Amino acid sequence: MGNFFELKTKACRIFRSTFAFGTIAILCSVPLHAEDGNEIAVSGKSALVGLKKTSIGPVPTGTNMYIPDTTLRGVFKSQLIVSGTVRFLTIYRNMQKSYDDMLTSDRNISFLDYPLTNVGTSSTGGFPVLELNLTSKLPGNFNFNVGYSFAHGFTGITDNSNARNISSRQNLYFTGKLNSDIANLNLSAGSILWTSISRFTMGQYQYRDNYFERLPWDWYRNSFQRFDEYYSLNTNLGGEASGRSPVQGFVGTVDFYRAGISLTSVFGRTNRSVAIANASNHFPSYTYAGRLDKSFFSRYIEGRVGVNYYRRSAETDKTKRITDQNEIISLDGKVKWKKVVFGTEVGMGRIQNPANDNSTGMAFTFRTEWDQAVSPIPFALEVYQISKNVVSIDGGIINSNRTVRDGGFATEFIYDNMLMINVAQEVGQISNNRRGLSLNGDAKIGKLKIQFGMAMSQEIENLYDTITIQHRVNAFSRSRFRPWFQAGGNYGRIKSGWRRTFETLTITDPANAQDYKKGFNTLELLLKYKLQFLGKDVVIMNMNAFSSIQDKFMPIPQFSTDAFVRTLFSDITVAYRLGKKYALSGYAGYEKVMGGQRIDLADANGQRIDNAAGKPTFDPNGKTIDQTGLGFGVGIDYDFSSTAGLHLRHTWMSNKDKNFVLDEFKGQETTFELKLFF
């Protein structure tokens, strides 16, 4: 017994770190004395295992024994804030007519936003079903948070002809912050780290989502509260990561607040750094970015100026070691004088890959915003010119350069969902190989809120014989027919992205007749109104857009058949607060796509007219594209607590081309979601 209790040292200190719960604790040993005053010692290991409040029995005089102090010193429950979201989502689709290549089948049931995709780390598809965040509220100058997300790939079809599958996709991130008298230091590591550097470098462009379909991604608000805010706020409220790029790696920020200077650095991979096929084989593809920012204030003026750098560094493959790299350096600034804002970004881009040897280009954008205090109608005006060689797949510039691809140069065009050649963009979006202007304004007449916008642009070089339009009715459902594929549908023209559906059309002009520069125009009008019906709030929102692509610059869209293509879109969403916990919603959408005689044409049997090489060709007797898309939906929301709710949506959708008879689908889709946030 004496040998068992023999201790070789006079003290025992134990350090325990339980990082999963954000707990850092120190257990310090204290001496226990026998009746004669001598110290009693027990093996440090034995003293920890199964320690209970019980008698240890008689101990020989003269034996030292150390028992750990059970007082915990570290981060306690009262010093932690726990927040997060838990979701259960089911989407069931039943199609009466569909495309032949529909990958997810006519009758499909899935339990996640997007089938067959990763959660933000490769394809940005799908939101997690569990998100947990632990944040400290320590009284000192240091705090931290730990985040965790989980999502699954469980999907299948109802007739059991294809096996269901399930797999785990997880991400974990850590953030620490240290405050001092000189600077504040913030370091984040892991994935996903939503990051913004500047518009040209890192900061994804934004699309306007359908209000009715936003439910699965609009997390921390109750059912009718979101519609109230859609009405009240003039900004386009999108997803939680809207306008930022997902990074897997490290993001560090040092803020010298007294000097008004901050430094930001980024290293890692983004969802656009590497192709999915190479994601697990140590493919040499990394993203570097940084920013030096200086703010300044005076009695009348406040503003900031920043220097930005971005580089996607890669090689075409693991053996040839050919450089595949693009980078941007830019200077941006913003000044606010009274109620007027002026902002600009000027930069230069460079591309190195097998198709470009140090190709460079310049870009600039200038924006001004005038508040209601200085203008009868508040407005924002932007002008820009961006070279084809200024490319950041992680930035806010829509890419139309075929030599820079999502995932790298080796990516096939049919899987590059970031390539938007000659796209008819929404108002406020910018594209490379383009110079243009956009104007936004808003007004209010009683409870009627009006937001309007117009965009006009022209390509700098006539590079490609294809144009791209966006399908905004049933966009989310359509994009899930064959996710991420860029040549879908029965005519190989449908492009599917994250919640987006586009279509690529071919210009059939003879080569010697293409001596022009294509022009792009868009008009948008959003009407929002709030009223009461039977003593309950009703919010009505109506979005309208008309766009055209033609062979010249125009200040307004071209409405005649001389345009290559014209698109008309209109939808209306109505939300009705039945009570404190209940809300009803409805939706109706209409879309018309009208082609001219200079793009894809169909013969009398509805087949596309191709030349010997299999490409669309001109035929004076050909019939042009004439599509009509419809969407209708109803929904009910029940908030059974202030932080939890049930949400049901059912939609009817259809699309039909009068002349391309194979371009037709018709069906229904039901979405059910249980969502809890805390």
The answer, yes or no, to whether residue 664 has pLDDT greater than 50, is: yes
The answer, yes or no, to whether residue 270 has pLDDT greater than 50, is: yes
Least confident of 201-210, 526-535, 542-551: 201-210
> Which residue reads 């009683």 in tokens?
446
At 509, the pLDDT band (50, 70, 90 cuts) reads confident
| Average confidence (pLDDT) over 475-498 | 91
Give the domains, in start order, of the chain with CATH numbers.
13-74 (no CATH), 79-235+245-277+288-677 (2.40.170)
- At 389 the pLDDT is 97
Least confident of 32-41, 206-215, 425-434, 549-558: 32-41
The answer, yes or no, to whether residue 28 has pLDDT greater than 60, is: no
- 557 phi and psi angles, rounded to 5 deg: -60, 155
- Pairing, β 130-136 against β 142-152: antiparallel
* Alpha carbon distance 271, 247 (integer Å): 7
| Average confidence (pLDDT) over 311-332 | 88
* Alpha carbon distance 149, 133 (integer Å): 9
* Amino acid of residue 323: T
- 32 phi and psi angles, rounded to 5 deg: -115, 135
DSSP 475: H
The H helix count followed by the E strand count for the chain is 3, 34
Per-residue pLDDT tens over the stretch 591-644: 999 999 999 999 999 999 998 888 899 888 999 999 999 999 999 999 998 888
DSSP 232: H
The answer, yes or no, to whether residue 71 has pLDDT greater than 70, is: no
| Average confidence (pLDDT) over 637-656 | 93
- Pairing, β 23-33 against β 73-74: antiparallel
* Alpha carbon distance 653, 670 (integer Å): 11
Close Cβ partners of 136 (under 8 Å, ≥ 6 residues apart): 22, 75, 79, 80, 81, 143, 144, 145
Is the separation of the CB atoms in 334 and 341 below 8 Å?
A: yes
The answer, yes or no, to whether residue 576 has pLDDT greater than 50, is: yes
Per-residue pLDDT tens over the stretch 528-543: 999 999 999 999 999 9
- At 3 the pLDDT is 38
Least confident of 17-26, 194-203, 628-637: 17-26
At 42, the pLDDT band (50, 70, 90 cuts) reads very low
The answer, yes or no, to whether residue 157 has pLDDT greater than 70, is: no
| Average confidence (pLDDT) over 15-34 | 32
* Cis status, amide bond into 261, omega within 30 of 0: no
- 27 phi and psi angles, rounded to 5 deg: -105, 120
At 55, the pLDDT band (50, 70, 90 cuts) reads very low
- At 155 the pLDDT is 53
Per-residue pLDDT tens over the stretch 97-131: 999 998 888 888 888 777 654 433 334 456 777 88
Of the two residues 73 and 293, the one the predictor is more confident about is 293
* Alpha carbon distance 286, 272 (integer Å): 10
> Which residue reads 């930001």 in tokens?
264
| Average confidence (pLDDT) over 221-250 | 79
Is the separation of the CB atoms in 426 and 207 below 8 Å?
A: yes
Least confident of 36-40, 69-73, 181-185: 36-40
The answer, yes or no, to whether residue 419 has pLDDT greater than 70, is: yes
| Four-residue CA torsion sign, 435, 500, 563, 544 | negative
* Alpha carbon distance 520, 507 (integer Å): 15
At 442, the pLDDT band (50, 70, 90 cuts) reads very high
* Cis status, amide bond into 556, omega within 30 of 0: no
Close Cβ partners of 457 (under 8 Å, ≥ 6 residues apart): 425, 431, 434, 435, 436, 437, 519, 520, 521, 553
- At 275 the pLDDT is 58
Q: Cα torsion for 480, 486, 490, 493, to the nearest 10°?
A: 120
Token pair belonging to 678: 């805390």
Least confident of 95-99, 295-299, 522-526, 594-598: 295-299
- At 276 the pLDDT is 53
- At 194 the pLDDT is 85
At 233, the pLDDT band (50, 70, 90 cuts) reads confident
DSSP 55: -
| Average confidence (pLDDT) over 457-480 | 94
Three-state DSSP state, 125 = coil
pTM of the model: 0.84
The answer, yes or no, to whether residue 476 has pLDDT greater than 60, is: yes
CA atoms within 13 A on the CB side of 479: 22
- At 260 the pLDDT is 92
Close Cβ partners of 152 (under 8 Å, ≥ 6 residues apart): 111, 112, 129, 166, 167, 168, 169
**Percentage with pLDDT > 90 across the chain:** 51
Give 100: exposed, middle or buried? Use CB within 10 Å, 0-12, 13-18, 19+: exposed
Three-state SS string over 184-213 comes to EEEEEEEEEEEECCECCCECCCCCCCCCCC
- Pairing, β 245-256 against β 434-445: unpaired
- At 118 the pLDDT is 41
Least confident of 148-157, 315-324, 592-601: 148-157
Per-residue pLDDT tens over the stretch 323-367: 889 999 999 999 999 889 999 999 999 999 999 888 999 999 999
Is the separation of the CB atoms in 401 and 388 below 8 Å?
A: yes
Average pLDDT, whole number, for the chain?
82
Three-state DSSP state, 511 = helix
| Four-residue CA torsion sign, 52, 55, 56, 62 | positive
| Average confidence (pLDDT) over 34-46 | 39
**What DSSP element (H or E) covers 478?**
helix 475-479
At 512, the pLDDT band (50, 70, 90 cuts) reads low
Residues linked to residue 39 through DSSP beta bridges, in sequence order: 33
DSSP letters for 544-580:
EEEEEEESS--SS---STTSSEEEEEEEEEEEEE-SS
Of the two residues 62 and 176, the one the predictor is more confident about is 176
User: Per DSSP, which regions of 223-317 are E strands?
Assistant: 245-256, 261-270, 285-297, 301-315
CA atoms within 13 A on the CB side of 654: 10
Least confident of 19-33, 229-243, 311-325: 19-33
Give 212: exposed, middle or buried? Use CB within 10 Å, 0-12, 13-18, 19+: buried
- At 304 the pLDDT is 95
